[in-house]
Structure 1
Amino acid sequence: MPFCDSQKKTILRGALALSLLSLALAGAQATTYPVTPEQRATAEKVAQAGVPLSELAPDAPDSHTVKPGDTLWDISKLFLKSPWRWPELWGMNREQIANPHLIYPGQLLLLVKQDGRASLQLAQNRGAGGTEGTVKLSPQVRSSAVDNSAIAAIPLTLIVPFLADAVVFDTDELATAPRIVATPENHVLLARGDKAYARGDLSQATDYRIFRNTKPLVDPATGEVLGFEAPYLGTAELVQPDQSRSLPDGKLEVVPATVQIKQVRKEIGVGDRLSPVPQRSFDRYVPHAPAQPVAGQIISIYGEALHAGQNQIVALNRGERDGMERGHVLALWKAGRYTLDRTGEKPEQMRLPDERQGILFVFQVYQRVSYALIITASDAVRPGDRFTQP
């Protein structure tokens, strides 16, 4: 029996939903992350729904060919007013986005508008003439070499340099950390390749980060010390452990450990502290809005600047205990200025409304504070400026 137009649309939407779900699951399986029934239901629901047409960018293109260097964020900005809503457009659930769901340079993305909603689907070029045709999305097996070329969620080049630079300790643990105590020939400053001598417990690792003394991060609203920020100086490698030994007369002969400077970001000298290099994971930098309302303030601008702009780092007075997550996208607000109302019988002081001025991307979360990258800012960003969910 032939199908009517509405039935055909229903079948098409169902097929597209299942195809998108299959693609998402294939990406999940490729990275060995389990797919829970709840996540499966989320992906299926989102794939069927898409986003309302009102959420599309005014100049959203009908198609886009993925280019090397593209990210999910970049592509979503082409199609959406709010790029962090890209899982709805793509029919993906962010919990399984460690693999960017088999989106690769050269693939053609088509914007499909139907029944007041929009979604993306893949197309491919066929033949030497480049004739385009829509293809069914289905699980595929790819080699690891190809998988490594899949596009990322955000441009990691913006935040990777800060993952070692911007460091917060919950307690002032650097006060008792191993320290550089001497340099060859009493050099004041150390350069890459130089050796230095250190004392303290260096048994935890062979690779160390070097820091200057910490400074407290104080909540601008409550005055609470939320953590201790340590200026990052560089890295060092343990070359020879401590050789201290007891002498026959019972005294201790101190022979400090030897380290070699591997990287220098700022001046390194006697008194600077050593901390083991931690393991870093980039899998979960997935832009998404907070699930619950959030509000807070900027504590400081990283690098001791008085104000900041796009692509600079700020410390926030909210952390893991407040529900902050890596990948949170936040709205940045500028406090309204004080002025006088001179239109009445006598001048009266008033404060103008706060103005939204940009977007923050949280990339590192500690217990009580977080670091965020300024994605956009229409004006100078200063300590005390506030943030909310987008």
Structure 2
Amino acid sequence: MTRIISALLLALAASFAQAADPAPLKIADNAPDRHIVVPGDTLWGISAKFLSEPWRWPEIWRMNQDQIKNPHRIYPGDVIVLDRDANGKPLLRVAGNNKLQPKIYSEALEQTIPSIPPNVIEPFISEPLIVEDITVQNGARIVAMQEERVFLGPGDTAFVAGAGDRPQQENWQVYRPAKPLRDPQTKEILGHEAFYLGTVKQVQPGEPGVFVVATAKQEIGRGDRLLPAARPQLVNYVPRRPEIDIDARVASVYGGVGTAGRNSVITLNRGSRDGLEVGHVLALHRNRSDSFRDDLTEKTVTLDLPQQRYGLVFVFRTFDRVSYALVLNSAGAVNINDALRQP
């Protein structure tokens, strides 16, 4: 999956010049003249050292021109140099073939540099997390298990009702019945967020059908639901600012916790029907109010405080009415109902 994320990043590079923000690139305060690539670096992180707007890294890497055509061909030990073209515009380039780590060390690290931390979002690419309630609640379900099993793990057998006759569908994904996901502003149900448990393979059709557990993130049991496994959606992680006005809110923090931080996954109350796309970068704004006692009226007054920007998120998967985003940086905790707009 990491290879997919890296390889497909360049698919939109040819058309990036037309969609790029026309404003001049702004060099970050105290930007270095060069950076030595180390294990764990990402293109976003490297670009953030040089740019005040790191989501515009395809521009400074000149992905659509003659500089670094494939920035993923960068390895630990490479030296990245901040330079300028004939027109004085900033660009990044690799300083020849020079590496500052010992040769034996650099050769042992053949992994290229990804765009954003892939280990955080990989599970969200192939697992459909927002589902129709009726699909999960009334779909295929585990009705019995092999003898002497209270819960199932890899290699165990499950008997499933409602899977139907699908001769071409061998692989299925297992979920706990979904919980409603509500809009923090309107309280409307936007969809249902299913809790992913693992995968099973059908070995014998019928009613019930016979399935074997292939993978399990958590224990699988009677009553858990099944959905046909789809092929992972191949996406292009080219960061960009939305071209339309976006007014979104944090609807939930994945995992059921109340607040999020850097590298956390959050759910937004806007989706593809609202114009959000994979690769959009949004700015987080604190959305809060405060109350005080007015000495003149002797009444408690509640004021909505001006929103304060405190972080950035990267949209990496969209559904019709909701989206998933990765928190790239934040000066403080990310809370439900915080606002998101164009950076």
- Using the size of structure 1 for normalisation, the TM-score is 0.72
Greater relative contact order structure (CA < 8 Å, 6+ sep)? 2
- Correspondent of 1:241 among 197, 205, 209: 205
Q: 2:169, 2:141 → 1: CA distance?
A: 14
- Correspondent of 2:336 among 383, 387, 390: 383
Partner of 1:304: 256
Letter in 2 for 1:261: V
* Greater fraction helix: 1
SS in 2 for 1:303: coil
Is there any run of 5+ residues in structure 2 with no aligned partner, and where?
1-5, 103-109
Residue 290 (structure 1) aligned with residue 242 (structure 2): yes
Residue 57 (structure 1) aligned with residue 28 (structure 2): yes
Partner of 1:247: none
- Correspondent of 1:361 among 314, 326, 343: 314
TM-align CA RMSD: 3.5
Q: 1:34: how far off?
A: 9.1
- Correspondent of 2:291 among 310, 330, 339: 339
After superposition, the C-alpha distances for 1:18-38 in whole angstroms (9 at most, x for unaligned) are xxxxxxxxx99x9996987xx
Q: 1:126, 1:324 → 2: CA distance?
A: 41
Q: Which moved more, 1:280-289 or 1:79-88?
A: 280-289
Q: 1:124: how far off?
A: 0.8
Partner of 2:134: 172
SS in 2 for 1:293: coil
Q: 1:149: how far off?
A: 4.7
Q: 2:132, 2:44 → 1: CA distance?
A: 31
Q: 1:312, 1:127 → 2: CA distance?
A: 33
Structure showing greater radius of gyration is 1
- Correspondent of 1:104 among 41, 55, 74: 74
The answer as to whether partners of 1:100 and 1:150 remain within 8 angstroms in 2 is: no
Is there any run of 5+ residues in structure 1 with no aligned partner, and where?
1-26, 131-147, 243-254
Q: 1:230: how far off?
A: 0.8
Partner of 2:63: 92
The answer as to whether partners of 1:316 and 1:369 remain within 8 angstroms in 2 is: yes
Q: 1:214: how far off?
A: 1.3
Q: 1:365: how far off?
A: 0.5
Number of residue equivalences: 323
Q: 1:184, 1:127 → 2: CA distance?
A: 57
Partner of 2:121: 159
Partner of 1:11: none
Structure 1's 318 and 205: CA in aligned 2 closer, same or farther, altered over 3 A?
same
Q: 1:288: how far off?
A: 2.1
The answer as to whether partners of 2:9 and 2:236 remain within 8 angstroms in 1 is: no
The answer as to whether partners of 2:79 and 2:98 remain within 8 angstroms in 1 is: no
Q: 1:378, 1:126 → 2: CA distance?
A: 36
Q: 1:123, 1:361 → 2: CA distance?
A: 29
Q: 2:52, 2:260 → 1: CA distance?
A: 25
Letter in 1 for 2:44: W
Structure 1's 125 and 190: CA in aligned 2 closer, same or farther, altered over 3 A?
closer
* Greater fraction strand: 2
Residue 77 (structure 1) aligned with residue 14 (structure 2): no
- Correspondent of 1:267 among 219, 226, 229: 219
Partner of 1:124: 96
Q: 1:127, 1:211 → 2: CA distance?
A: 47
Q: 1:62, 1:341 → 2: CA distance?
A: 53
After superposition, the C-alpha distances for 1:159-206 in whole angstroms (9 at most, x for unaligned) are 113335660024531233211110112632112221111122261521
SS in 2 for 1:159: helix
- Correspondent of 1:224 among 188, 209, 215: 188
Q: 2:338, 2:11 → 1: CA distance?
A: 38
Partner of 1:351: 304
Q: 1:231: how far off?
A: 0.9
Letter in 1 for 2:189: V
Letter in 1 for 2:90: A
Q: Percent identity?
A: 38
Q: 1:87, 1:240 → 2: CA distance?
A: 49
Letter in 2 for 1:358: G
- Using the size of structure 2 for normalisation, the TM-score is 0.81
The answer as to whether partners of 1:50 and 1:90 remain within 8 angstroms in 2 is: no
